[in-house]
Amino acid sequence: MKKIIYILAFFILASCNYFEKKKIAVSDTLIEQKLQEINRSQIDKYPIFEACENIDNDTLLEKECFTTTLSDHITEHLAQQNVVLTEALQDTLKIQLQVNYKGIISIQNYHVSEPVLTAIPNVRMLISESIQQLETIKPAYKKLPETGELIPVTTQFIIPIIISE
C-alpha cells in the first residue's frame, strides 16, 4: 500500500506546474502602442549607393542622389541596347521598386504605356537586366523614438524613366 501511495505522490508532484518555466508575455497592446509611435510614412535615412555616401546626413540630397543614380543607370543601360525605333517616341516609364531591409532591390510593378510596349516590346526585360546589374545598395533606416537607434527598413520608390527619340 505504501508503494502505491509513493507512486501516486510521485505522479502528483511530477505533474505540477512547479517545474515548468514561466514565460512573461508582452502585452499585445504594448506592442501595438510601440508600433503606432513609429512614423511609417517617413524614413530617417534613404537607401544609398556608394557614390552617394559622402552626403552629410541631408535626407533630401540622399533621396535625390539615390533616384538620380538609379534613373541614370537604367537610362544608360537602355541606351546601350541599341533599340531602333521606327517613329518618334516621347514618353515616361514609371518603375515601382522596393529596396528591402538587406539592401536588395526588386521591381514591384511597371507603368509602361502601350506606345512604348509597341515600340520596345522587351522594355520590361531590359529594365529588369539593368536592375540586376546595379551595385550594392545600403538599405533605408528608421530611427527608433525611444533609443534613437537606426534600424534597416524596407522602402518603395517610383522612378521615372524618360524615353525620347
Q: Are residues 103 and 150 in the same domain?
A: yes
Domain with 29, as residue range(s), is: 2-35
Residue where the block lists cell 524596407: 154
Distance CA 161, CA 70 (A): 10
Distance CA 72, CA 64 (A): 12
Q: Are residues 17 and 80 in the same domain?
A: no
Q: Are residues 80 and 154 in the same domain?
A: yes
pLDDT in tens, 33-73: 555 555 556 788 888 888 888 876 777 888 888 888 888 89
Find which of 27-36, 58-67, 81-90 is predicted with most confidence, using mean pLDDT: 58-67
Residue in 92, 105, 90 with CA at minimum distance from that of residue 164 = 90
Is 92 in contact with 162 (CB distance < 8 Å)?
Answer: yes
Q: How many structural domains is the chain composed of?
A: 2
pTM of the model: 0.69
Helices (H), the chain: 2-14, 28-37, 59-80, 114-119, 123-132
Residue in 50, 56, 77 with CA at minimum distance from that of residue 131 = 77
Q: Are residues 18 and 54 in the same domain?
A: no
